[in-house]
Structure 1
Amino acid sequence: MMGIGSYGYNVPISHKMFVGYDVPEGVDIRGRYDEDYARILTKDAIQFVAELQREFRNHINYAMECRKEAKMKYNSGALPGFDPVTRYIREGEWTCAPVPPAVADRKVEITGPVERKMIINALNSGAKVFMADFEDALSPSWENLMSGQVNLKDAVNGTISFHDKARNRVYKLNDQTAKLFVRPRGWHLPEAHIFIDGEPATGCLVDFGLYFFHNFAAFRRTQGQGYGPFFYLPKMEHSREAKMWNSVFERAEKMAGIERGSIRATVLIETLPAVFQMDEILYELRDHSVGLNCGRWDYIFSYVKTFQAHPDRLLPDRVLVGMTQHFMKSYSDRLIWTCHRRGVHAMGGMAAQIPIRDDPAANEAALELVRKDKLREVKAGHDGTWAAHPGLIPACLEVFNNNMQGNAPHQIQSMKREDAAFINEEDLLQIPRGVRTMDGLRLNTRVGIQYSAAWLTGTGSVPLYNLMEDAATAEISRVQNWQWLKYGVELDGDGLGVKVTLDLFGRVVEEEMARIEREVGKEKFKKGMYKEACKIFTRQCTAPTLDDFLTLNAYNNIVIHHPKGSSRL
């Protein structure tokens, strides 16, 4: 029997014997009880999260209101730009704290969800850094989140292992492993399985708080003089959000009794408003910063989202919006200049290709695309890059090692990119060029539905058509469909003269669902949540008002409340 919680989340009602978590006053954990999770959800750890929530909830609410106000401005015709009030920060001669030796070399970083086998393989991959992801690569079910915290605790302690029964193989950590960074969720996402003072907790404070509380001491032992723990911070739109993170870090350091500046973080510049706030973001985090990253997939998504009410700024097919587009190149170049001027890393974007095992020629062609992209990044001045699959790491490393001056760990001092100082608002906002085609509409629809189906069933990172898709790439598919529908885009190519209408989109959805069923097979199609995913994705593409995030809208579908945590059988 299902009930509805006070925030609209589905609540299963059971008549078993219940064993709950030991929680401090004002906290209600509604996720399933599990003995392994209880090692993470200790009373002291939850108390720390609750204290963060209570201290920063008003600041978070204000920041989210500011996002809404900015959105209203853009929807009324305004354009984002540099803030004249903070000009003194942009023009000041300040630098961030020195880069810790442990993370001086970040030439190739691998990213992925906090699954047990994934963590082991990523740490063993030969990459310099593994970014364990609670955000775009993870479907935030209770089980995924809590198992992820257990997995990371074991990884930091060096005790993590995984027995693959199908292969009869045990996976363990090598002697040399990548440095561990953790990406919590964005400020906007709730954690609806934990209520604090009657309200859902803020997801990023749960992710950060539990990980930091349990791991800072062990992390410092394993990292030596490298400081840490290390984090990636997503989805910021303004420096006030960086200031909140800086205050959270200072609060955590004080609680732990460790020196200020021990925690270090890289900020993903993955929203269009944030590109005009890069100096200000680094300034707020200057004691805790280790750079900025070009989160280019989310950045493309944000371009559409920011200009959702601007019919003169329609994107071409998503496959055409690459780093050679003027607005994308300008974003990358200015990020490099900003970071190096402030003494920190400028990280490149994701190589989303995955190995094509059954076609050596196609695999080599995909690898060549990766090499060209990474060569562009290193020659532009990036200090490192991202890869979605271990199979890409040797190629990425080779490019960066061969093109760094004197085999240096980074290019902070050697590639100042003073020419990028002249990149202006017009450069960063230039309208992208290219065609809009029926193939583009079909690919968006096919990818969006399949990713949504995987997300609903607990998988947040999905290989589709030889690329690794996560929430960021799925968002591009969703908002582009929405934009083309809203403005009745006339398609180019084979669809010449055809306008994107609700009728056309309905036919495309029907045909692409049939194709998905053929590709995945009837049995898998029946067992998967493809029909539910299709409803959610289609509803979001055709909504009169664009939803801010696909996953925020769909979150209610994966929230399951268990009274008092649920039973132990």
Structure 2
Amino acid sequence: MNNSAIIIRDNLTEVYEDVYSSGVLEALAYMAPFNEEVKKLMNIRLRRRKERSQNESRITFLNPETNIPGTNIKVSDAREGNFEGAEIPSDLQRQWIQGTGPGAKPNASLESSIRNVAYALLSGADGWMFDGEDALGQVSTMSLDNQRNLKLAIHKSPVFLSVAEEVATQMNNWSRIFFGQDKIQDWRTQLNFTTKIFRARGLHLDDRHIRLSDGASFSASIADLVLYVVNNASALISAGSSIVLYLPKIQTAEEAALWNRMISALESHLELEEGTVKVYVLVEQLEATYQLMEIRAALGRHFVGYNTGRWDYINSVSDAMAWDQSFINPNIESIGMTYGYMRNYEDRVRRAVNTPDMNGNFALWQGGMEPNIPVGSTEGVNSSMEKALAGAERELSEGASGKWVAHWKMVHIVRPVWEKKNEANQMGRTFERLSYTQEDADGLIYLEPAPRTIRGARNLLSVGLQYGNAFGQGMQAAALKPADFFGDENVLYLMEDMATGEIRLSILWEWLHKHAEITSADVDAGVEEGAIFTQELFDKLLEEEYDKLLNANNKDVYEASKVTTLPIAKSIVKKYVGEEKKIPWFIDLLNINLNNVDLKMADKRIDLYIKLLNEKGERVTENLDFTI
């Protein structure tokens, strides 16, 4: 397929000539035939979801006597480790702390935007996952700004080095106050410490700037894979660094096999040895937990490890069990990594990575996210940091080789947990082999008794509304807390991204449509213990929490957003939670309203989305503002 098959909107090939280089355009055209395969698998996803709902059937393990779809690997062989995996490269052997966040800011100059990358690479994190997905805003051309900033940083351009020197001074000023010492001794040397990692957008998302000449929307996964690898492969290899990706939202080994074929095809096109690109997989979907060894096998020489993220996974469990009236989650605060189905999920992941492949290779387990930011009152910071350290200690004891943090200020707070153990990783630690019984399957959806309160509902609503508003403003990662705690410095802001917004609405949907019982009385709301969470109660709480945001100061809710993106966020929350048939992706309703501040237009687009989903089983995923 030649370059004419790819259409890039407006004049972006000129404005972003450094990002859309000739090599990138050639590779996009070469990879374009995979777009049809991506669309096919996404249609299969929706059909599988619909059939489970109609048949009221649970997810099950694969038949061990069959081949993994899209491969010639037998399921039973994958489970036994009879496949060729990857050796872990030297710069991934020790990943005690990985930071995560976007490499760009919305509506910012290059010098301001690229500071995000400087903070990351000077943070002291062993690796930094520069996010192209859940935490990266997609307003205007932010996805391209992200790619540009990463390219400039990886190639150590003068503009990046100048900004990095300034940022190092600022970071040391904070370190002296907080730790009593500088944490950056030589900023130029420090830039080489952190392994660069990029999270591509998931297979369920479309790119906002590219489509095919036949009018088909174009997979964001293909776009991100091509732009990052083509622009940076040579520089990374020359520096002795690995080319590393995080792959999100994979549901099945068949989808992993498609990723494997795409990556191998790009390696071949660039004349790289197969297996040069390494990938972590975020275990964010319930179905993936039933196919962990199969996913490892399908990705073969590319696979290096799993990550156990909390928020997306909770949401996937909620979505997979939407048909089951008895499956109702408690307050989000109760669903930690030791809760019921979460405990069993984590246990399967650690056992999967420490099952050797045919060459005796193990894989890495990177623990979950620490969302705290050490900004607030002394009491609040101390309390939150104690919880953060306790969480890290627990993951270390369970066998994780490291964990994530959502802010650079957390790196040197949490990293000492692994420094004290002073082992590069915990690969090869002995755990029981995975089993595939009904008891195992039941454990992955095991609910434990926990509170379901009006306070919990307010928190869900408040943060859900704020997240939708932040998304519309271009901040897919935002420091948020419930409105009732605005001004309370003892309650810290937490870094929230798409997944944290999505699970809040999913739980509210459960409570409303499954007639959840409130477990304790709430005098202020006039709700008694055992009361049912009704539409009337939801509407009442929604209006009250929305009013709090309208009356909040500019620090917590931008004044301009109160008449632009906040009303749209409210409409999305109301329709998402109120829709009888659960909508598969909250992000869809947000994406179709990016760069739109007209509430009437937003409602029209939301109604179109719901109509097509209900009548044709189709998702609207393309950029509705696309112009040729």
- Give the TM-score normalised by the residue count of structure 2: 0.81
Deviation at 1:435, TM superposition (A): 1.6
Distance 1:162 1:426 in 2: 55
User: What residue identity is the alignment partner of 2:232?
Assistant: N
Question: Helix, strand or coil: the match of 1:195?
Answer: strand
**What corresponds to 1:122 in structure 2?**
120
**What corresponds to 1:297 in structure 2?**
311
Distance 2:253 2:151 in 1: 31
Equivalent residues in 2 for 1:482-493 (5 A)? 482-493=509-520
**What corresponds to 1:157 in structure 2?**
155
Equivalent residues in 2 for 1:170-319 (5 A)? 174-197=190-213, 198-222=215-239, 224=240, 226=241, 228-319=242-333
Distance 1:151 1:170, change over 3 A: farther
Equivalent residues in 2 for 1:91-102 (5 A)? 91-94=80-83, 96-102=85-91
Distance 1:311 1:526 in 2: 36
Residues 1:515 and 2:548 aligned together: yes
Contact 1:189–1:202 (CA<8 Å) still a contact in 2? Answer: yes
Counterpart among 16, 19, 35 of residue 40 in structure 1:
19
Residues 1:112 and 2:112 aligned together: no
Deviation at 1:26, TM superposition (A): 2.1
Deviation at 1:53, TM superposition (A): 2.1
Residues 1:411 and 2:426 aligned together: yes
1:96-142 CA deviation, whole Å, 9 max, x = no partner? 22100111101110000121221110111000000000111012234
Deviation at 1:442, TM superposition (A): 0.9
Structure 1, 386-395 or 492-501: larger mean CA deviation:
492-501
> Which of structures 1 and 2 has the larger relative contact order (alpha carbons within 8 angstroms, sep 6+)?
1
**What corresponds to 2:108 in structure 1?**
none
Residues 1:361 and 2:379 aligned together: yes
Distance 1:507 1:285, change over 3 A: same
Question: Helix, strand or coil: the match of 2:279?
Answer: strand
**What corresponds to 1:557 in structure 2?**
593
1:47-83 CA deviation, whole Å, 9 max, x = no partner? 31132121x1232123112212321233122111211
Residues 1:498 and 2:476 aligned together: no
Distance 2:479 2:40 in 1: 38
**What corresponds to 2:341 in structure 1?**
327
**What corresponds to 2:575 in structure 1?**
539
1:421-449 CA deviation, whole Å, 9 max, x = no partner? 58721222212431211111111111111
Runs of 4+ with deviation above 6 angstroms: 166-172
Cα RMSD after superposing both structures: 2.3
Distance 1:34 1:44, change over 3 A: closer
**What corresponds to 1:393 in structure 2?**
411
Residues 1:376 and 2:376 aligned together: no
User: What residue identity is the alignment partner of 1:97?
Assistant: A
User: What residue identity is the alignment partner of 2:333?
Assistant: V
Distance 1:108 1:167 in 2: 20
Distance 2:204 2:162 in 1: 33
Contact 1:131–1:180 (CA<8 Å) still a contact in 2? Answer: yes
Distance 1:168 1:318 in 2: 37
Deviation at 1:87, TM superposition (A): 2.9
Structure 1, 65-74 or 269-278: larger mean CA deviation:
65-74
- How many pairs does the alignment contain? 532
Structure 1, 244-253 or 271-280: larger mean CA deviation:
244-253
User: What residue identity is the alignment partner of 2:315?
Assistant: F
**What corresponds to 1:477 in structure 2?**
504
Distance 2:93 2:571 in 1: 46
**What corresponds to 1:59 in structure 2?**
37
Question: Helix, strand or coil: the match of 1:341?
Answer: coil
User: What residue identity is the alignment partner of 2:221?
Assistant: C
User: What residue identity is the alignment partner of 2:366?
Assistant: M
Counterpart among 77, 82, 92 of residue 61 in structure 2:
82
Contact 1:105–1:128 (CA<8 Å) still a contact in 2? Answer: yes
User: What residue identity is the alignment partner of 2:426?
Assistant: Q
Structure 1, 270-279 or 320-329: larger mean CA deviation:
320-329
Consecutive unaligned residues in structure 1, runs of 5 or more: 1-22, 565-569
User: What residue identity is the alignment partner of 1:231?
Assistant: L
Deviation at 1:321, TM superposition (A): 0.5
Contact 1:26–1:196 (CA<8 Å) still a contact in 2? Answer: yes
Distance 1:384 1:418 in 2: 21
Contact 1:24–1:46 (CA<8 Å) still a contact in 2? Answer: yes
Distance 1:506 1:210, change over 3 A: same
Contact 1:60–1:187 (CA<8 Å) still a contact in 2? Answer: yes
User: What residue identity is the alignment partner of 2:423?
Assistant: A
**What corresponds to 2:565 in structure 1?**
529
1:257-293 CA deviation, whole Å, 9 max, x = no partner? 1211110000011100000111011001121111111
Residues 1:50 and 2:38 aligned together: no
User: What residue identity is the alignment partner of 2:419?
Assistant: N
Question: Helix, strand or coil: the match of 2:254?
Answer: helix
Consecutive unaligned residues in structure 2, runs of 5 or more: 67-74, 105-113, 172-186, 357-361, 482-492, 595-622
Contact 1:333–1:420 (CA<8 Å) still a contact in 2? Answer: no
Deviation at 1:538, TM superposition (A): 1.4
Structure 1, 251-260 or 486-495: larger mean CA deviation:
486-495
1:169-214 CA deviation, whole Å, 9 max, x = no partner? 8998644331011001100111132111321110111111111111
Question: Helix, strand or coil: the match of 1:25?
Answer: helix
Deviation at 1:323, TM superposition (A): 1.0
Distance 2:237 2:251 in 1: 31
Counterpart among 67, 71, 77 of residue 49 in structure 2:
71
1:16-52 CA deviation, whole Å, 9 max, x = no partner? xxxxxxx921222125537551221234412311321
1:380-426 CA deviation, whole Å, 9 max, x = no partner? 001110001122212321112223xxx2210102x222276587212
Distance 2:401 2:319 in 1: 29
Distance 1:266 1:167 in 2: 29
User: What residue identity is the alignment partner of 1:408?
Assistant: E
Deviation at 1:92, TM superposition (A): 3.9
Distance 2:455 2:538 in 1: 12
Structure 1, 118-127 or 30-39: larger mean CA deviation:
30-39
Contact 2:249–2:282 (CA<8 Å) still a contact in 1? Answer: yes
